[in-house]
Structure 1
Amino acid sequence: MGDAIRNDSSAPQCITIAELQAEHYENGFGIFHATPRLSWRFAATSIQNWKQCAYEVVIERHGRTECYRVASRQSSFVPWPSSPLSSRDVAQVRVCAIGSEGINSNWASLSIETALLHRDDWTAKLIGGPPQDIDAPKCPFRLRQTFQYSGGASPARLYATAHGLYEVEINGQRVGEHVLAPGWQSYKHYLHYQTYDVTALLRSGQNSIGVYLGEGWFAGRLGRPGIRNLWGSQLGFLGQLEADGKVICQTGPGWEVLPGGPVVNSEMYNGEEYDSHQHDPKWSTNEYTSTNSTEAVVLPFPAAKLIAPEAPPVRRLMEVPPRATLTTPSGKTVLDFGQNLAGWIRINDDIPGTGTVTIRHAEVLEHGELGTRPLRTAKAETIIHLGGSTRGYEPRFTFYGFRYAEVTGYDAVGLSDFTAIVISSDLRPTGTFECSHDLINQLHRNTVWSMRGNFVSVPTDCPQRDERLGWSGDLQVFTPTASFLYDTSAFVGSWLRDLAAEQKDLNGIVPTVIPSVPMPPRDNERQPMAAWGDAAILTPWDIYQFSGDQSILQRQWNSMVQWLENGIPRDERGFYAEDTPQFGDWLDPRSPPALPGHTPTDPYLVANAYLVHVTEMAATIGECLGETELAQKYADDAHRLRRLFREEYIAPSGRIASDTQTAYVLALHMDLLDGPREINTARTRLDWLIRWEAFKINTGFVGTPHILPALAKVDMMTIAYRMLQEKDDPSWLYPVTMGATTIWERWNSMLPDGSINPGQMTSFNHYALGSVCHFLHAHVAGLSSAAPGWTSALVRPRPGGTIRSAKATHDSPVGPYSVSWVIEARVMKTNVTIPPNGEAHVILPGVNIVVGSGEYTYETEWHSDPEWPPQIIQGAQGKPVEAEFVP
C-alpha cells in the first residue's frame, strides 16, 4: 500500500484553457488598464505531469494582427506584449499554451475593451437636484433627458457613476444587472464608475434616458449612533453616452428633475418607503410628459479619482421563496424564508386595497415573535402604500439582513406573493467542501452564506443592524477562508486600496473600519488596534498567497511601512503603549455580554504577539519585493521584539503569563516559543485547558481562527477534532444545533431557551468565526496552497474524530485542484486531481511525493485513533473523568 494507482491512459488526451482573463476583471469589458496583464486557468485533465514551457499570444487591434511567442512557464499575470491601449480601445486576444511534451492547449480568446482611462475623457458634468435638508434622509429623485440618435454600426456605451446610488433606464428599459451601483468606496479618494453596453436599448430618432438617485452610503446615516453626509450632502449623477465615436448624450445643463416619484424614502438602515400611486412605467420613455419638472443643478466635478473597478458588481444572485407562513403568539403574520440572507423581498403580484403594507425584517424569532432587538436603531422595514401597481416591486436603494419578514396591512398573505432576492458582490466561486459529518457540512454552508451576505461592495461585519461596516479585524482573520471559497483578489484588493488611502489621511493609523466611518463618542479612526490594523500587512499577504499577484504587495507596501513606522503607538521598548486601548481577544465567551473586550487574556500580550508576527511578515514581504534595506530592518526589529516578548510573557519553562487558550495558541501559531521544552509545555497546558473546559471554545476574535491549525501544527489532531465536534455552548456546532443558517457574532447569540443574548452586540450573520473552515479545507480535506498562486499545492488529509470521508476542491489561478478521501475498514482511499501546469506535494501514510498534473488514486493503511474520544478533566483532583461523547 502507498503507491499511486495510475488512471486509464486511454482517456482523452487534451489540454484546455478554461478561461482567459485580463487583470482581475470578470471579463474583458470596460477595463481600466492600458497594459493589462493576461492570465489563463486550465481545465482538469488526465494527462500527467504536463507543464507549459511557452505560450503564444495573438492580438488583433486597429486592423493589424500581432503575434508573440514567449518561453515561460508563467500562466498568471503575464505582461501585456503589445503597445499600450488607449481609452475605448478594442483588442481581440487569443492565447495558446505550449507543452514541453508537444501537447498544446486550445486557443482561448478574450475581447478586451478599455473604459475611460483619463480624467479628461469625461466631458459630462455632475448634476443633481435642489439641495435637501442635511440633517434628514435625502429623498430619492429622478433625472431625465431626451436625445437624438441617428443609428450606426458601432456599439453604444454608457459610462456612469454617482454621489449616492443610481439606476438608469433608457427608453423604459433598465440598464445593466448592477444593483446598489456604483457601490461603496472611500468616496473622498476614489469614485467607481461602470461601463454598460446599451446598443440594444437605443433606437433611431428620439430617445429618453432616466436616472433614479438615492442617498446610499454616500450621504446616508452610517455607524452608531449614526452620522450623515460623511462624503457629501448633495446627491449627483455623472453619465456619458457615446456611439459612433462621439458623445450623443451627457449629463449637464438641460437635464430635468422630475417631481415626486414612487420611492418616497430609502435608507440603508431604516429601509424603503414606496408609494405605488406614483409609479409610472413611462417616466423614462418618449411617451412621458412632465408638467412640474425643474432644471437639474450642475455640481462641481468629483474630486476623487474616477476608476473602473476590477471587482465584480453587486448583483441579484438567486431567489428564495418563503418556506412557511407563521402566526406569532400576538397574532402577527410572519414569512419564514428558511435561510438567513442579505437582500430584499420582491412583491410578485398586485396587492389589492388602498391601505399601507409594512414588512419588517429580522434574522430570528424570539419566543415566537420577530426578534428585532439586535437591529438596535435600524428599522429595517419596507412600507408600501397601495392603490397602484405593486407587481414586481422590490427596493432600489437599500438592503436587509433577514430570514423572517412580518407582514402587516395585508391579511391574505400567501407563499406565492413574496420572494426573497439574494444580493452580493458577484465573486467567482472557487472552493467546495463536504464530509461525512452532517453538522460540520451545515457549519460550512453557514460560512458560505455569511460570506455571501457580508461581501456586499465591501466586506462588512453584518448586513442587518445599524452598522454594516468594513471592520478590518473581521476580514483579517477570514481572508484565508474567503479566498478558498471565492476569488477575492479584486474585491479585497479594492478594499485594501481604500485602506491605504484612509490610513494616509491619518498619518499611518489604520482605521478599524474601511471605508472609515467615525463612531462617537469613541474616536475609532485614531485608535490603532492590533489584529485590526494588522490587516494592512496580513491581508495583502494572504491575497498574494491565493492569487500569486505580487503587484498587490507592491501597491500596499507603503501602507505596511506607514503602519509599522507611524501607526502603532509604542512605548520606549517598541511594544504597544499600554495607555492606548486594545480590543484584545474580543468576544471571548467568558466576557460579560455588556463588556465584550473584558477577556482573561492580557490584551497587550495579544497586541505584542501580533506585533512580532507582522514585523516578521513585513521583513518577508520586503525581501520578496526587493526592499532589502527595510526588509533587514524589520527582520532585526522582529528578532528584538521577539526576545522582549519572551522576557515579558514567557517563563523559562514555557508557561505563558496569561494562562489561556488564546495565549498558547498565539505563541504556537506565531512561533514565539523556543525549543522542544517550551513547545511541549505549551502543548501540555493547551491540552489541559481544553480538557478542563470540556472541549468548549474559550477563545475570542483573535484566538479562534488559529486554535485548530495550532493544534494541528503540534500534532494534537485528536484534541482538534474533539473541539470541532463539540456541540454544547460555546462551540462551532452549538449554533448549528440551534438551527443557525449563518455564522453568529457571539458563540451564544441565541441562548438555549430561545432568548436572544442580552448583549447589545448580537448578530446572527457575522462571518469571522467561520474562519474555522480554513482548518476544514487544509487539514480535514487536506488541500492547501504550497506556493503563491497555487503553482504548487499541499495534499495532506489528516482524518480524525468520527469523520470517515471528506472532499474539497479549489479552482485556483492555475486550475482546479481536488482531494477526496474515504475510510473503509482499515483502508484509506484518496483521490487527487492536479491541473495542468500545477503540482502537488502529497503526504499520506507511507506516501511522500511530488506529482504533476493528472488524476491519482492512493490506497493506504488506516488505523483508528486509540485516544478517541479524549476525556474531559474536571473535579477537585483534576483527573480525567469518563464522559460519553455523542458525535
Structure 2
Amino acid sequence: MPTTVHSVRAEYRTDSPWIAAARPRLSWKTETTAPDWTQRGAEIEWRRGEAAAVAHVEGRDSLFVPWPFESLLPRESGSVRVRVHGSDGTASDWSEPLHVRAGFLNEGDWHARFITVPEPADIGQPTLLRREFTVREGLRSATLYATARGVYQVEIGGVPVDDEHLKPGWTAYRDRLVHETTDVTGLLRPGPAAVGATLAGGWYTEGFGFHGQARPFYGKYPSLAAQIVLEYDDGTTELVATGDGAWRATADGPVTASGIYAGETYDARRARTGWSSPGFDDSTWLDARPDLARAMTPVARTAPPVRATEELAVKEVITTPSGRTVLDFGQNLVGHLRIRVQGREGDTVVLRHAEVLEHGELGTRPLRHAKATDAYTLAGTGVETWEPAFTFHGFRYAEIQGWPGAFDPGDVTAVVVHSDLDRTGWFSSSHDELDRLHENVVWGMRGNFLSVPTDCPQRDERLGWTGDIQVFAPTASYLFDCDGFLASWLEDLALEQTEDGAVPFIVPNVLEWARTPAAAWGDAATVVPTVLFERFADRDVLERQYPSMRAWTDHIAAIAGPRRLWEGRFQFGDWLDPDAPADRPGDAKTDGDIVASAYLFRSATLVRRAAAELDLADDAARYRALAEEVREAWVREYVTAAGRTVSDAPTAYALAIMFELVTEPATLEAMGERLAWLVRRSGFRIGTGFVGTPLIQDALVRTGHAETARRLLLQTDNPSWLYPVTMGATTIWERWDSMLEDGTINPGEMTSFNHYAFGAIADWLHRTVAGLAPLEPGYRRLAIAPVPLAGLERAEAAFETPYGRAEAGWEEHEGRIVVHATVPANTTALVTLPGAEAREVGSGEHRWTIEDPRVATPRALTLESTLADLIEDAEAHGTVLRAMASADPERARQFRRETAWTEHRTLAGELGGVPKQVLTAVETALDDLNARRQR
C-alpha cells in the first residue's frame, strides 16, 4: 500500500469546519505498509479559491503543528491538505483537503445584546423570540453567531439551523459563554425572511442545592444573544442582531415548563405554525425585553456540541405489580424519549424516568427531588410526534401514563444524547462479564460527558464534580477523543478558582460552600491538564493551565505550612469506601489526612514536570524541592520502619506505591506484600473508594502481585467490579452496592446507577491486561507490555492514537501465549514481554510467541489447610462454598462474607462448631477435587 495521509484536522473539532482560532494547530495521520516508517518532513498547502501557499515542516512533527500561514480573519474559509516525506525516501500523495472556516469574531465584532421574555414571567419561563428582515439579491453568505444564558434553538422558516441540543451548554456563566457559529445561507432567499428562537432556562435558571433547599444561582430569566451577518456579492455587509429593538417575544408557546431536573411539559394545542417565517401575525406578542445582567462577549466553541448519537427501541413492556406500564430499554442511558401518538385534543401523556426497578416498580427514590418527568398534551390533529428539547434524563426504564388507545412499543424510542465525541478506544477479552464491565464504563462516560463532565445524570445534582474526572481522565482520554471537551472545561476550572488558588468541588461552581479545598477533588487542576498532555500531547493546555496548576499547589502548600502536611481540615478522603456506612460515605478506612498530603505531593510533582516541559527551570527546581519535603514528611508521619502505614488499608498502600511516596526498595516490597495480604484477607473483595480504586491494580502489579490483581478483578461477590454486572448493571454504579443482593436500592440518600469514577479500572485493562499504553506524550512512543491473566484466553485493545490506530493483545495458543501489536506510522514502541528483555520496535505489525507465564500446579487442600491457601485457590474456594451452601445456605453466606482469609487460621478451625453434615460435605468436596486434579 502506498503511503497516504488522512485525518487532517485543525485544532480540536472534527464534527464541523468551524474553528475557534486565528492560527489553528494542524494534525494529521500517516498510513503505510513500509516497516519502521517515520516522517522526515511534510508540506502543508493552504488554498483559498485559486490562490495557494505551501509551507514546509522538517522532522517528525505531525501533531498540533503550528499554523504556518497568515492569521485567519473571521469567516475566512479555505482548504488544507498535507503531503509527507518519509525517512525511507518516499513521498505520499496529497491528502484529501480539509475545509476550514474561521468561526471566531474579532474584538468589537460582537454587536448582539441579550434579550429575554417580557415581564411578568415565571422563573425559567420558556420563550419564543422572532424577528423579520429582508434579504437583498446577491447574498453570498449568511453566518449566524448565537448564544444564550439558558438553552436555545434557532430556526429560519421553520427549519432548525443545526442538529445540536442544549446549546450553548454549561460553562462558568458569570465569566465565560461560548457561541455557536452556523452557516445559514441555504435557509435564506432574496426577499422577506424571519428568524425565530426557542429559549428555555436550562442550567442558567435551574435551582441548585440539596435537601430540598435548591435555589437559582445565576438568574431568573433565560436570555438570547444572536447576530446574523449577511454578506453580499457587492462587498457590503448587513447585520441582524438581538437588541436592535425589532425582536418580538412571547411566553405563550407550546413549551409551558422546562427544567434540567424537572423535565419538560409541552402543550401541542399552543403550537403556532409559521412563527419563524415571514408574515406571521405577532400582534399579540410583546417587544423582547433587554437582559440587564452584566454584558459579556461570548467566545467561539472549541468543544464538540451535544447531539443525539443513537436510538434504542423498547426491549420489554412490563406491567408492574401496581398495574402501571413501564418500558425497559435494556440499557441505562442518558437522553429522552420520542413518542408517536394519536388521540383526542387535550389527552396528556406523562413520561416518568428511572434507572432501576425496585420491587417491580419504578425506582425513583435515588432521584431525590428531581421529578424527571415529561408531559405531552395532544393537539388531536392525527398522528403526532414529539420529543423534549431542553432537558435530559438518566434512565433505563420509563413509566407511561395516559397513553390514548392501545399502546404499541414501536411508538416510543429512547434517544441517546451527549457531547458528540469521537470514539477512539476499544477493549475485548474472552471473559463476557469483563467485557460487559468495559461496556458499562463506555456508557457511563457517554451519559456523563454532556456539556460538562458530571458525576451523575439522573438526580437533582448532575454537577461537574472535580474528584470524579480527576480519577477518570485517563480512562476518558482512551475511550473518546475528549481533549477539546476537557480543555474547555479546564478553562472554567481556572475561572472558578478563588483568588488564593482554591479549586471548588464542582466546576462550574453553583454552590458557595463548595469552595473549601479538598484533596483529590481540587487536584483536578493539576491532574487533568497532565493527562491531556500525556495522552494527546496537548502542550498548549499545559501552558494555558499552568498558572491554575501552580495556584492550587501553592494554596495547599500554604495550608500545609512548615510541617508540609495537609492535616486537620475537611476532606472527602477515600470517598465511598465499601466499608463506609450508607449514611456516612466519607468514613473510609484510610484517614483523610493521609490522602490529602499524598495529593499535595502528587500535585507538586505534576507542577514540577509541567514547569520542566515549559522550560521554567526555576519553577521546576522550586516544586521539586517542595515535593521532596512533602514526601519526607509523609513517610516520617505515616509509615513505620516495617513498612506499615498508619491507616492499614489498601488505599494508603496504593497511594504510597503509585505516587512514589516510598522509594526505598525494601519498604516498597513490604508495602506491596501488605497490600496483597489485605486484599487476600478480604476474600479478594474490593476495599477502596474513589481515591484508591484507580491505583490498586497498578500497585499490585508494580510490586509483583499480578495474580492478586487478577483475583480482585474477576471477583463477583459484593463488593467488586463484577458484582454490579452479575446484578444486570449496564453502567457503572456510584456505590459498590448501589443495589443490594436482594434487589433493593442502597438505603443511603446518595445512590446513583450511573457514575463513572469506579470505571477508572478500564484504563488498567487497556494498559496492563491488553498491554497498550503511552510512553511519550501523544503515544509518539508506545509501551507494549501485556500481563496475561489466568481465567482469560485472550485480551486485546485497539486505540486510535493521534498518530493512527494502535493495537495490542494476546491469546492462548497450543499452551503458549501469542502477543500481537500494531504500531502506527511515525511512532515506535518499547515492548516488554513476560520473562524477556525489553526491546524497541518501529511501526508495523508485530507478533511474538512466549511461554505461558501463568502455568501453576495446584496443591492438595484439606480441612487442615490454611484459609490463606484456600482463598488463593479460586477453584478450591468455590468448591468449599458450594459444598457448604448445599448443606447450610445461610452459614455459607456468612462464611463467604465474614471470614478473614489469613495464613494463621485453618479451615477446620474456622468451621469448628458447625453441624457435622456441613463439615462432611466440605471434606468430601475437597477429596473429590484433589482426586480430579491428580487425574
TM-score range, shorter chain: over 0.9
Equivalent position of 2:459 in the other structure: 465
For each residue in 1:122-175, what CA deviation from the matched residue of structure 2 results, as whole angstroms up to 9, or x when unmatched? 222222222456xx5421010011111134362321111111100111001111
Q: Distance in 2 between matches of 1:28 and 1:237?
A: 23
2:708 corresponds to 1:716: no
Greater relative contact order structure (CA < 8 Å, 6+ sep):
1
Q: Distance in 2 between matches of 1:119 and 1:431?
A: 39
Q: Select between 253-262 and 291-300 the one with higher mean Cα deviation.
A: 291-300
Equivalent position of 1:30 in the other structure: 18
Pick from 41, 48, 58 the counterpart of residue 35 of structure 2: 48
Q: Select between 456-465 and 194-203 the one with higher mean Cα deviation.
A: 194-203
2:818–2:850 CA contact under 8 A, matched in 1: yes
Q: Select between 227-236 and 341-350 the one with higher mean Cα deviation.
A: 227-236
For each residue in 1:344-374, what CA deviation from the matched residue of structure 2 results, as whole angstroms up to 9, or x when unmatched? 0001243446332211100000010000000
Alignment of 1:21-170 (within 5 A): 21-26=9-14, 29-43=17-31, 45-61=32-48, 64-108=51-95, 109-131=97-119, 137-152=123-138, 154-170=140-156
Equivalent position of 1:698 in the other structure: 687
- The alignment partner of 1:244 has SS state of strand
Equivalent position of 1:417 in the other structure: 411
C-alpha RMSD over aligned residues: 2.1
Q: Distance in 2 between matches of 1:57 and 1:17?
A: 11
Assess, with a 3 A threshold, how the Cα gap between structure 1 residues 545 and 250 changes in structure 2: closer, same or farther. Answer: same
Q: Select between 156-165 and 822-831 the one with higher mean Cα deviation.
A: 822-831
Equivalent position of 1:396 in the other structure: 389
Equivalent position of 2:892 in the other structure: none
| Percent of aligned pairs sharing the same letter | 41
Assess, with a 3 A threshold, how the Cα gap between structure 1 residues 517 and 197 changes in structure 2: closer, same or farther. Answer: same
Assess, with a 3 A threshold, how the Cα gap between structure 1 residues 436 and 673 changes in structure 2: closer, same or farther. Answer: same
Equivalent position of 1:328 in the other structure: 320
- The alignment partner of 1:154 has SS state of strand
- The alignment partner of 2:207 has SS state of coil
Amino acid corresponding to residue 274 of structure 2 in structure 1 = K
1:126–1:302 CA contact under 8 A, matched in 2: no
User: 1 or 2, which has the higher helix percentage?
Assistant: 2
- The alignment partner of 1:193 has SS state of strand
Pick from 783, 788, 793 the counterpart of residue 794 of structure 1: 783
For each residue in 1:355-408, what CA deviation from the matched residue of structure 2 results, as whole angstroms up to 9, or x when unmatched? 322111000000100000000000000122233457221111110000000111
For each residue in 1:168-196, what CA deviation from the matched residue of structure 2 results, as whole angstroms up to 9, or x when unmatched? 11001111011000010001111100011
Q: Distance in 2 between matches of 1:391 and 1:596?
A: 46
Equivalent position of 1:823 in the other structure: 812
Q: Distance in 1 between matches of 2:365 and 2:764?
A: 33
Equivalent position of 1:855 in the other structure: 845
Pick from 494, 509, 519 the counterpart of residue 502 of structure 2: 509
Q: Distance in 1 between matches of 2:293 and 2:20?
A: 20
2:158–2:275 CA contact under 8 A, matched in 1: yes
Pick from 232, 241, 248 the counterpart of residue 250 of structure 1: 241
Amino acid corresponding to residue 128 of structure 1 in structure 2 = T
1:269–1:378 CA contact under 8 A, matched in 2: yes
Q: Distance in 1 between matches of 2:572 and 2:220?
A: 33
* Residue 229 of structure 1: how far off its partner (Å): 3.7
Q: Distance in 1 between matches of 2:196 and 2:844?
A: 54
Amino acid corresponding to residue 816 of structure 1 in structure 2 = R
Q: Distance in 2 between matches of 1:538 and 1:100?
A: 36
Amino acid corresponding to residue 73 of structure 2 in structure 1 = S
Q: Select between 153-162 and 619-628 the one with higher mean Cα deviation.
A: 153-162
2:408 corresponds to 1:408: no
* Residue 506 of structure 1: how far off its partner (Å): 4.4
Pick from 143, 160, 163 the counterpart of residue 177 of structure 1: 163
Assess, with a 3 A threshold, how the Cα gap between structure 1 residues 630 and 876 changes in structure 2: closer, same or farther. Answer: closer
Q: Distance in 2 between matches of 1:850 and 1:313?
A: 40
Amino acid corresponding to residue 362 of structure 2 in structure 1 = L
Q: Distance in 1 between matches of 2:670 and 2:251?
A: 73
1:93–1:111 CA contact under 8 A, matched in 2: yes
Amino acid corresponding to residue 443 of structure 1 in structure 2 = L
For each residue in 1:677-732, what CA deviation from the matched residue of structure 2 results, as whole angstroms up to 9, or x when unmatched? 21221122112111110000010110001001111111211000100000000000
Equivalent position of 2:470 in the other structure: 476
Q: Distance in 2 between matches of 1:121 and 1:876?
A: 72
Gap runs ≥5 in structure 2:
859-870, 878-898, 909-921, 930-935
Q: Select between 329-338 and 864-873 the one with higher mean Cα deviation.
A: 864-873
* Residue 867 of structure 1: how far off its partner (Å): 7.3
Q: Select between 604-613 and 693-702 the one with higher mean Cα deviation.
A: 604-613
Equivalent position of 1:186 in the other structure: 172
Equivalent position of 1:870 in the other structure: 872
1:790–1:814 CA contact under 8 A, matched in 2: yes
Equivalent position of 2:579 in the other structure: 590
Assess, with a 3 A threshold, how the Cα gap between structure 1 residues 399 and 226 changes in structure 2: closer, same or farther. Answer: farther
Q: Distance in 2 between matches of 1:351 and 1:16?
A: 57
Q: Distance in 1 between matches of 2:3 and 2:599?
A: 44
Matched length = 866
Q: Distance in 1 between matches of 2:508 and 2:127?
A: 26
Q: Distance in 2 between matches of 1:605 and 1:579?
A: 10
Equivalent position of 1:3 in the other structure: none
Q: Select between 584-593 and 69-78 the one with higher mean Cα deviation.
A: 69-78
- The alignment partner of 2:438 has SS state of helix
- The alignment partner of 1:190 has SS state of coil
Q: Distance in 2 between matches of 1:470 and 1:132?
A: 32
1:833–1:856 CA contact under 8 A, matched in 2: yes
Assess, with a 3 A threshold, how the Cα gap between structure 1 residues 395 and 258 changes in structure 2: closer, same or farther. Answer: same
Q: Distance in 2 between matches of 1:450 and 1:325?
A: 24
Q: Distance in 1 between matches of 2:719 and 2:396?
A: 23
Assess, with a 3 A threshold, how the Cα gap between structure 1 residues 602 and 443 changes in structure 2: closer, same or farther. Answer: same
Amino acid corresponding to residue 660 of structure 1 in structure 2 = A
Equivalent position of 1:5 in the other structure: none
1:90–1:111 CA contact under 8 A, matched in 2: yes
- The alignment partner of 1:499 has SS state of helix
Amino acid corresponding to residue 872 of structure 2 in structure 1 = P
Amino acid corresponding to residue 458 of structure 1 in structure 2 = V
Equivalent position of 1:354 in the other structure: 346
Alignment of 1:259-338 (within 5 A): 259-286=251-278, 288-300=280-292, 303-338=295-330
1:125–1:301 CA contact under 8 A, matched in 2: no
Amino acid corresponding to residue 17 of structure 1 in structure 2 = V
* Residue 227 of structure 1: how far off its partner (Å): 4.2
Q: Distance in 1 between matches of 2:746 and 2:461?
A: 18
Assess, with a 3 A threshold, how the Cα gap between structure 1 residues 568 and 382 changes in structure 2: closer, same or farther. Answer: farther
For each residue in 1:765-799, what CA deviation from the matched residue of structure 2 results, as whole angstroms up to 9, or x when unmatched? 00010000011100111101010011011111110
1:148–1:248 CA contact under 8 A, matched in 2: no
Q: Distance in 1 between matches of 2:351 and 2:272?
A: 23
* Residue 736 of structure 1: how far off its partner (Å): 0.2
Assess, with a 3 A threshold, how the Cα gap between structure 1 residues 512 and 100 changes in structure 2: closer, same or farther. Answer: same
Q: Distance in 1 between matches of 2:724 and 2:412?
A: 28
Q: Select between 116-125 and 636-645 the one with higher mean Cα deviation.
A: 116-125
* Residue 303 of structure 1: how far off its partner (Å): 3.4
- The alignment partner of 1:94 has SS state of strand
- The alignment partner of 2:634 has SS state of helix
Equivalent position of 1:378 in the other structure: 370
Q: Select between 858-867 and 539-548 the one with higher mean Cα deviation.
A: 858-867
Alignment of 1:283-682 (within 5 A): 283-286=275-278, 288-300=280-292, 303-352=295-344, 354-388=346-380, 391-410=384-403, 412-503=406-497, 505-518=498-511, 523-525=513-515, 527-567=516-556, 570-682=559-671
2:184 corresponds to 1:198: yes
1:345–1:420 CA contact under 8 A, matched in 2: yes
* TM-score of the superposed pair, with normalisation by structure 2: 0.90
1:42–1:814 CA contact under 8 A, matched in 2: yes
* Residue 801 of structure 1: how far off its partner (Å): 2.4
